[in-house]
Amino acid sequence: MSSAAAVPRPDTSGAGPIPNLKLSDGNEIPMLGYGLGTANFKRGNKAAFNQQIVDNTVMAIKNGYYHLDGAEAYGNEEELGAAIKAAGVARSKLFVTAKTSCRAGESVETAFARSLERLGLEYVDLYLIHNPFWAVADAAPEVYQRKWAEMEAIKASGRARSVGVSNYLVSHLEAILAAAPRHPPVVNQVEYHPYLQHDADGDAGLLDYCRRHGIAVEAYAPLAAITRAAPGPCDAVYDRLARKYGVPASDVALRWCLDQDIVTLTTSSSAERLQGVLARLPTFTLAPDEIREIADAGRLKHYRGFWTAKFAADDRR
């Protein structure tokens, strides 16, 4: 699992104009997904059923977004399950992700069984540990290894086709891989955009580490440089490339991730926007020098939108 040959690559045999990515366990993940976090995150009374989340998700599915990224922490697994049922799309066509928060004193099996019940599903396509912060900062590798052994059991049961992690840094991944697991994580879902490239000085970089170990990188908040961190040094580059390709700047931001073979999540309650993204993204790709130009501009600013309490202000890991 440590050779360059293990790096996941897009498999253009996948249905639709945006290819699938073949994971190191042989399964495939659609490279563009619809996120149930951020705009669909349930706030306030999480026990109250939210029909708007169902409607948003049904709309996304019917517009071709078959990769659905959920998590117990979002508080909307029941709504996601209802949307899957209401959309009328065959389960075999959908790629459903769930995540465990690793609550204190609770096994992964308990959390997973609860998620399946809420979703109304017999299996998920991808199950992730949502973050590494359930453990104390100086936890021994064995702590992460024991938790990962529970994930392997879920994978072995067949109720999760693939297993992975989210928000894990190199040190957390090293702890897992040091135990030579039978089923290593195949995905690491992280906040990723030009202002957070996880390439801190003096470190080989999280993306490089994942790729060398056959772990696909999945980006959430790929539009952060536009939606959360503007103005910034990427604005002019995005705008110029948007004019060149005749697309919105947000499409350039999504394409920047996809063209680096990074699975990319987006979300919206607008059918028009979601339809437009699927229609436009297949019409262009960024040249290698354009990908580098955006990356170079991004390194002039640092911004992290999530888990900020866990990192120093200048921590670029």
Residues 147-173 have pLDDT tens digits of 999 999 999 999 999 999 999 999 999
Q: Is 213 annotated as a binding residue?
A: no
- pLDDT-based confidence at residue 40 (cuts at 50, 70, 90): very high
pLDDT classification of 44: cutoffs 50, 70, 90: confident
- pTM for the whole structure: 0.94
| pLDDT at 190 > cutoff 80 | yes
What does the pLDDT look like over 203-231, one tens digit per residue? 679 999 999 999 999 999 999 999 999 99
Q: Which tokens go with 275?
A: 């339809």
Q: Are the C-beta atoms of 10 and 31 separated by less than 8 Å?
A: yes
What is d(CA 123, CA 150) in angstroms, rounded to the nearest whole number? Answer: 16
Is 50 exceeded by the pLDDT of residue 6? no
State the amino acid at position 241 in one-letter form: L
Query: What's the half-sphere exposure (Cβ side, CA atoms, 13 Å) at 182?
Result: 8
The per-residue pLDDT for 204 is 72
pLDDT of amino acid 105: 94
Please tell me the predicted confidence (pLDDT) of residue 202.
57
Taking a C-beta distance cutoff of 8 angstroms, is the pair 197, 314 a contact? Answer: no
Structure tokens at 185: 């994580």
The pair of structure tokens assigned to 27 is 């399964």
Cis peptide before 141 (omega within 30 of 0): no
Using DSSP's 3-state secondary structure scheme, residue 189 falls into strand
The position carrying tokens 């359930």 is 134
| Catalytic residue selected from 34, 65, 66, 74 | 74
What is the reported pLDDT for 84?
98
Cβ pair 162, 155 in contact under 8 A:
yes
Check whether 139 has a pLDDT greater than 50.
yes
Q: Is 220 a catalytic residue?
A: no
- What does the pLDDT read at residue 121? 98
Distance, CA of 42 to CA of 145 (rounded, Å): 31
